[in-house]
Amino acid sequence: MSKVIIIGGGPAGISAALYAKRANLDVSVFYMPNSSLNKAHMIENYYGIEQISGQDLYEAGIKQAQRLNIEMIPEEVLSLEYTGRFNVVTGTNTYEADALILATGAYRATPPIKGLKEKEGKGVSYCAVCDGFFYRKKRVAVLGDASYAAHEAEYLSNLTPTLHILTNGKEIKDDKLRQYELHTGKIKAIEGEVKIERIVFEDDSVLEIDGLFIAEGSAGSVDLARKIGTLIENNKIVVDENMRTNIPGLYACGDCTKGLLQVSKAVYEGAQAATDVIKFLRKKD
């Protein structure tokens, strides 16, 4: 039986899972409980439901998938690999799939640090696998405090002997980060004439660096897509009318693609992605 992995347990991911499961595919959904849908106080514009909170709608979707015996895995996905099949890397395991659907929501907000946006592509990166090569044996820092930051740091540590972890005033959530040089102070600014040259903290201390990798929170769909060469435009994953990306067997749906940030749009795109996955896998078999 063909294996489909869906990353994201919101409206797009669950919609895709329901369609794929009903086509007798082996489906697993990786999800974290911090969906943006939970932040919606009240939803009153979704067909057939007069009024419901975002959290209640999210939990109803999870229960609906579980009733169909869809495997729901509450693990954070840290990275993707593509070798003709897809490898989904979490903190404890690597899972294989014949097709993959990204549905983890919108691109994370850029940390509000002075100078950061101006230095994107000029020493500031959001993907260690994509850009780490350019910083071999240079002074590199990772901004983050949790498992995703630890994963990016581990990759970069093989390329440079000088690796710093910046938590921007937050407490460390993954002890693996403690093996690197920690800087827990709040960041005031990122500076440099053309490229990034230094981090200035609020206490006016300075860290001289050549590259900064942003890895706050969890990896979103766009972060994961970048790691395997998926086309990205304006921080959205590029898909066609069937939710296909430029990589065979890789699909994206929901808030990580262009268009309305609405539940109705996410549900439709999840259904469309799964429908095309079914066709893709049947041709492959």
CATH number at residue 76: 3.50.50.60
Closest CA relative to residue 164, chosen from 187, 189, 141, 144: 141
Whether 15 and 155 map to the same domain: the answer is: no
Mean pLDDT (the chain) is: 92
If asked whether residues 69 and 94 sit together in one domain, one would say yes
Q: Tell me the C-alpha distance between 171 and 234, whole Å.
A: 31
**Residue 8 and residue 101 in one domain:** yes
pLDDT of residue 142: 97
pLDDT digits (tens, 9 = 90+) for 59-106: 999 999 999 999 999 999 999 999 999 999 999 999 999 999 999 987
How far apart, in whole angstroms, are the C-alpha atoms of residue 151 and residue 94? Answer: 13
* H/E element, 26: strand 26-30
Q: Is the model's pLDDT at 36 over the cut of 90?
A: no
Sole residue written with tokens 């200035």: 200
pLDDT greater than 90 at residue 234: no
The amino acid sitting at 236 is K
With a cut of 90, say whether residue 208 has pLDDT above it. Answer: yes
Q: How far is CA 41 from the centre of its chain?
A: 24
What's the pLDDT score for residue 1?
61
Residue 107 pLDDT class (50, 70, 90 cuts)? low
Last residue of a domain, one of 192, 214, 236: 214
Q: Are residues 42 and 72 in the same domain?
A: yes
To the nearest whole percent, how much of the chain has pLDDT over 70?
A: 98
Indicate the residue among 214, 230, 255 that finishes a domain.
214
Domain span at 161: 117-214
Residue 27: the pLDDT is 97
Q: Which of 114, 10, 140 is nearest to 62 (CA)?
A: 10
89, with CB counted inside 10 A (0-12, 13-18, 19+), is middle
C-beta of residue 123 within 8 angstroms of C-beta of residue 212: yes
260 with 245, same domain: the answer is yes
Checking if the pLDDT of 228 tops 90, the result is yes
119-168 per-position pLDDT tens digit: 988 999 988 888 898 999 999 999 999 999 999 999 999 999 889 999 99
Give the mean model confidence (pLDDT) for residues 34-53: 83
Which are the contacts of 254, defined by CB distance < 8 A and separation ≥ 6?
8, 10, 11, 12, 13, 103, 104, 105, 221, 265, 266, 269, 270
Last residue of a domain, one of 168, 189, 214: 214
Residues 209, 233 within the same domain: no
* 122 plus 195 within the same structural domain: yes
Q: Are residues 187 and 66 in the same domain?
A: no
Q: Residue 217: its pLDDT value, please? A: 84
124 and 265, same domain (yes or no): no
Share of the chain above pLDDT 90, in %: 78
| Structure confidence at residue 40 (pLDDT) | 76
Cα–Cα dist 193/119, whole Å: 10
Verify that 150 and 229 share a domain, yes or no: no
Tell me if 251 sits within 8 A of 232, measured CB to CB.
no
The number of domains in the chain is 2
Q: 255 and 177 in one domain?
A: no
For 206, phi then psi, to 5°, come to -130, 140
Same domain flag for 39 and 132 = no
Q: How confident is the model at residue 224, as a pLDDT?
A: 92
Global pTM?
0.86
Mean pLDDT within 173-198: 95
CA proximity to 157, closest of 125, 181, 190: 181
> At a CB cut-off of 8 Å and minimum separation 6, what does 262 contact?
45
pLDDT at 34 > cutoff 90: no
